[in-house]
Amino acid sequence: MKNFPYKNTLIFTMAIALFLSVNEYRKSANLAESQTAALVDKTKHFESEIGTITASKKVLQLEKKNLKELVYSKDDTLNTLRKEFSKVKSIIQTRTITKIDTVSIPFEVHMPCEFERKGKHKEAWFEFDYNVNQNGLNFSDFNMPNEQTSITGFKRSWFWGKQTYTTDITNTNPHIKTIEVQTIEVIVPKRFYDTRLFNIGLGVIGGFLLAK
């Protein structure tokens, strides 16, 4: 009978440990399921409420320990950009292409002779077709590709310096300049039953009931 309190304590401790382990397993399983869904998801396009085209894709959630292996090691540019931050919160990578079908520029004064010159102008960061005659100049099939990386996280000027919550946006196309940035983060409070304190408390109650 003298060992009874120790037995109760052991059961109590094991119950708490079991409950926390089950809870962590549930979270890990949910994260793995979310990651799989995000990895196989394709970018979808739909018409927004303001009449433009919106691109949409599921968010890939990774723990810090997986970022280097799955992301940074496969993208040298991103790996370089993220070193500006002491702690990265989110990364958004997009590929865009600016397309203009046709731009016609008529001459105010027509040329006194008939002629026509046409061709294609192509550079590393844009290309277009052109056609010029006595009536005016036409540009068509204008394409300008760009890859944009947005990183949000904490920066500090030196090791012990104050952290600043910042968003950096970098374009690969030198002809594209981001002129204004505003990042708005909605802070979602944790539900009381998702907090660690609640889980520990529930484990304590469960262990107490088992011990009895």
Element (H, E) at 69: helix 64-70
Q: Which helix (H) or strand (E) holds 209?
A: helix 196-211
Binning pLDDT at 50, 70 and 90, where does residue 1 land? very low
Two tokens, residue 143: 């394409």
Q: How far apart are CA 62 and CA 140, in angstroms?
A: 43
Task: For residue 187, give the 3-state DSSP assignment.
Answer: coil
Weakest-pLDDT range from 111-120, 128-137, 156-165, 170-179 = 156-165
Q: What is the pLDDT of residue 57?
A: 86
Q: Quote the pLDDT of residue 105.
A: 93
105-125 confidence digits (pLDDT tens): 998 887 788 889 999 999 999
Reported pTM: 0.69
d(CA 81, CA 167): 12
Task: Extract the tokens encoding 20.
Answer: 């926390």
Of 70 and 145, the one with more pLDDT = 145
Q: Write the DSSP assignment of 128-143 as a string of letters.
A: EEEEEETTEEEEEEEE
Angle, helices 196-211 vs 4-40, to 10°: value is 140
CA proximity to 164, closest of 151, 155, 152, 176:
155
